[in-house]
Amino acid sequence: MLGLDMMNNANDMMNIFNQLKQNPMQVLSKKFNLPQNLNMNNPNDIIQHLLNTGQISQSQVNQVMQMRNNPMLQQLFNHK
């Protein structure tokens, strides 16, 4: 029985992963309750919505924005 549960969980995870791979914005919209009229091409708009709804904090946003300036991370993202 435990093995079947594990298999079901693994299947669920694979489904989510596949959905994320095919249409990541749709999955994220569903998870974070993003409205349909939100401009998905503008990350700032998405972040602003998440801030307004209290799903993320200002300090988290600041940390992530600072990370973007990190040269090591920039090199990592450019390397792909």
Partner 1 sequence: MAYNNGLPVGYPQYIPQQQYQYPAQMQAQPNQNFISVPSEEVARNYPVGPNNSVMFKDENTPYIYTKFMPPSPFASAVFEKYKLVRESESIQEPRKEVNAIDYTAEINKLWGEVNVLKEQMAKVSNDNKGTEDVGA
Residue 51 makes contact with partner 1 by CB under 8 A? yes
Single residue of 57, 73, 74, 76 touching partner 1 by CB under 8 A: 57
Q: Is the four-CA dihedral 18, 54, 51, 62 of positive or negative sign? A: negative
Residue 39 makes contact with partner 1 by CB under 8 A? no
Single residue of 69, 71, 75, 80 touching partner 1 by CB under 8 A: 69
Are 31 and 24 spatial neighbours (Cβ–Cβ below 8 Å)? no
Residue 44 makes contact with partner 1 by CB under 8 A? yes
